């Protein structure tokens, strides 16, 4: 079961969470609708490359990354989306595209959008396209220690 590493970590850190099963869904907005969770409370994990180094960007489902803003905030030369083939081996316990926002478990820096930090609870993929974990944002921040920045904007669909 792919979610084992994540739930063991949460249990070791005495974090309360709920596992939510849902029918398979692949886009963050589709997942939010299927699981009956507000899109802004669903954290999507995006793998990025910062000056060639892999990292995680975590933001609300209906938001997009402002790459130029993130580049300026970090004071780096380049920030871009990572290609799937660049990170597919990094998450052997997860289905492709269903990585949880726990870069600390995969030796990746984590950058979280300030807009996500406004929510009391967050939900996120639990290593599969048919299961989520929902927990308090404060607990997430405590164990992951992401760098909180303002780098995303609400996309109008």
pLDDT band (50, 70, 90) for residue 1: very low
The strand pairing partners of 53, in sequence order, are 50
Percent of the chain with pLDDT over 70: 97
Region of residue 40 (phi > 0: left; psi between -120 and 50: alpha; otherwise: beta): alpha
pTM for the model stands at 0.92
User: Which runs of consecutive H residues, i.e. helices, occur in the chain?
Assistant: 4-12, 28-35, 67-74, 84-87, 114-117, 137-144
140-156 tens-digit pLDDT: 999 999 999 999 998 76
pLDDT band (50, 70, 90) for residue 157: low
User: Domain span at residue 86?
Assistant: 4-154
3-state secondary structure of 104: helix
Predicted pLDDT of residue 31:
85
Please compute the mean of the pLDDT values over residues 94-119 and round it to a whole number: 93
Asked if 56 and 46 touch (Cβ cutoff 8 Å), the reply is yes
37-49 tens-digit pLDDT: 888 889 999 999 9
Q: What is the CATH number of the domain that holds 83?
A: 3.90.960.10
DSSP one-letter string for 12-45: HTT--EEEEE-S---SHHHHHHHHT--GGGEEEE
Domain count, the chain: 1
pLDDT band (50, 70, 90) for residue 22: confident
Asked if 136 and 84 touch (Cβ cutoff 8 Å), the reply is no
């Amino acid at each position: 079961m792919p979610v084992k590493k994540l739930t063991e970590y949460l249990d070791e850190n005495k974090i309360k969470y709920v596992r939510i099963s849902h029918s398979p869904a692949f886009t963050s907005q589709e997942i939010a609708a299927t699981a009956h969770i507000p899109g802004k409370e669903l954290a999507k994990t995006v793998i990025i490359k910062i000056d060639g180094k892999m990292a995680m960007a975590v933001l609300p489902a209906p938001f997009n990354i402002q790459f130029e803003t993130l580049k300026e905030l970090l004071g780096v030369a380049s920030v871009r989306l990572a290609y799937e083939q660049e990170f597919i081996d990094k998450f052997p316990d997860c289905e492709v595209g269903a990585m949880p926002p726990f870069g600390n478990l995969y030796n990746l820096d984590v950058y979280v959008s300030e807009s996500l930090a406004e929510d009391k609870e967050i939900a996120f993929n639990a290593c599969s396209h048919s299961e989520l974990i929902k927990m308090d944002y404060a607990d997430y921040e405590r164990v992951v220690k992401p760098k909180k920045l303002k780098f995303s904007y609400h996309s109008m669909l």
